[in-house]
Structures are given as C-alpha cells and as structure tokens.
Amino acid sequence: MIEILQAGATYFNLTLSEDQLGAFVSYQRELAAWNEKFNLTRIVEPREVAVKHFLDSLSLLTVLPELNNPRSIIDVGSGAGFPGIPLKIVRPELSMALLESTGKKTTFLRHVVETLALTNVAVVTARAEEAGRQAVHREHYDLAVARAVSRLAVLAEYTLPLVKVGGWVIAQKGQYPVEEIETGERAVRILGGKIVEVRPVEVPGLAAERHLVILKKIKPTPKLYPRQPGGPAKDPL
C-alpha cells in the first residue's frame, strides 16, 4: 500500500512524508475495522483503498493551484471522509469541513480526525440543504468538493450556496458526464455559478475514467436556495 501511495503521489508531483504515509496506513486500518460494524464502504482491501479512495481523492490537488489555492474547503457528502481527509493529510494547512448527514458516518469521521491528530477540521452532521441556509456555512468556503454524491443539477444546489462569490466547486465524476452537463447547466446558472471545465484526470492504478467538473461561483446564490431537505433531489432545477 505504501509503495502504491508513493508512486501515485509522484505521478501527481507530490511527496509524502513518513508521517503522512503512516496516517494513510492508520486511516485504512480504522476504515476496515469500523466497516465491519457500520458498512462505510465496500472497498477495504489496502491496495484498493490506496487507489480507489486515497489516490482518487488526491487527484483533486492537480487543479487546486489553478483555482488560486483555496484555503477553506467543505467536503459535501463526505461519507467515510473522501476526498476531504486525504486532502487534509497531504495539505495540513487547509481548513476543512466534512459535511455528512448520517450520524454513524460522522461518528467515524470524528474518530479518524482524533486518531490522526488532524487540526482545523470540522465534522458537521447535517444535510447540505440545511447547512446551505446556516450563516456559519452559507457562502463561507473557497471550495466545495463532492465525490459520487448526485447528478450535477442536484449537486449544484447542494454545493454552490456554500461557496463564496469567486469560489469554486469540484465534482468528481466517472465517464464524461455529457447528459449531466446538458441538464445541469441551467441549475448552475440559477444558483450563481458557471461551468468552467470538465477535465479528465488519470489515477495511477485505476482503469476507469475519471473527470472533474469545475464550477465557478460568479454571483450570490438567491435566498430561495437551497430548498428544503429533499427538494433538490425530488425536483431538480
């Protein structure tokens, strides 16, 4: 697992310290142990975790310099901590919020944050629609990231209200999401954003296609949004 992480990091022009590698090893062990009780992920084998969770998360770092190196990030629908915790391990200076609505998952996230001694990490148990209406979160972050959460029209309503004007959203997707782009463009525009780019990324050891959908927040989100919990998924803009 360590060799896979080192090789992958080199591919992304990153260098992982011994402490960072140790943090990833501890993270994988905790994930496997907790998964027996809480079913956090179907991927627990160390080599698979290294590629499909850790390196896939770190692929985001390839674009951050072009987004003015955002300092405050919210991981929307964090689940078992991807991509937020791997990003925090490698970029400890980031201010990270892990937003997840399922209590058992946020319990795990808090445990991992404590176990890895990560600082300046907030674990938030709430739905995105709720957080997007709270003053502490609304238009607060430089960047929102989301991995395999929802289709773009729905995801835009989850993420754009959380981001400052001038900030960014990165949605991690598999194959080029042609239909999502076509059907989601209107929602992105209504919510104050624009689609800047859909960038293919290669993850070492992963044969499947990966793309990053990059949105920029160009004006404030109207106060009407996000709608009540369940609204965006039930009736996408």
Tell me, what's the pLDDT at 156? 97
How high does pLDDT run on average in the chain?
96
Residue 37 class from Cβ within 10 Å (0-12 exposed, 13-18 middle, 19+ buried)? exposed
Tell me, what's the pLDDT at 73? 98
User: How sure is the predictor about 44, in pLDDT bands with cuts at 50, 70 and 90?
Assistant: confident
Residue 223 class from Cβ within 10 Å (0-12 exposed, 13-18 middle, 19+ buried)? exposed
Tell me, what's the pLDDT at 39? 84
User: To the nearest 5 percent, what fractions of the chain are helix, strand and coil?
Assistant: 45, 20, 35
Tell me, what's the pLDDT at 148? 76
The structural domains of the chain, ordered by start, are: 2-234 (3.40.50.150)
Tell me, what's the pLDDT at 211? 96
Q: Look at residues 118, 40, 119 and name the one whose alpha carbon lies nearest to residue 82.
A: 40
d(CA 67, CA 94): 14
User: How sure is the predictor about 38, in pLDDT bands with cuts at 50, 70 and 90?
Assistant: confident
Provide the 10 A C-beta neighbour count for residue 228: 11
d(CA 184, CA 135): 26
Residue type, 154: V
d(CA 76, CA 165): 18
- pLDDT of residue 155 exceeding 90: yes
Global confidence as pTM: 0.96
Instruction: State pLDDT tens for residues 169-215.
Output: 999 999 999 999 999 999 999 999 999 999 999 999 999 999 999 99
| pLDDT, average across residues 66-93 | 97
Tell me, what's the pLDDT at 185? 96
**pLDDT: which is higher, 39 or 226:** 226
Do 210 and 173 touch, CB atoms closer than 8 A?
yes
Tell me, what's the pLDDT at 183? 94
Angle at 56 between CA 193 and CA 215, to 5 degrees: 5
- pLDDT of residue 31 exceeding 80: yes
β-sheet with 210-217: strand ranges across: 121-125, 95-100, 72-76, 141-147, 163-173, 210-217, 193-201
Question: For the chain, what percent of residues have pLDDT higher than 70?
Answer: 100
- pLDDT of residue 17 exceeding 90: yes
- pLDDT of residue 150 exceeding 80: yes
* β 95-100/163-173 pair status: unpaired
Tell me, what's the pLDDT at 149? 79
d(CA 31, CA 164): 32
Tell me, what's the pLDDT at 232? 96
Angle at 16 between CA 11 and CA 17, to 5 degrees: 160
Provide the 10 A C-beta neighbour count for residue 218: 14
| pLDDT, average across residues 150-172 | 97
Tell me, what's the pLDDT at 213? 97
Q: Check residue 67 and report its DSSP letter.
A: G
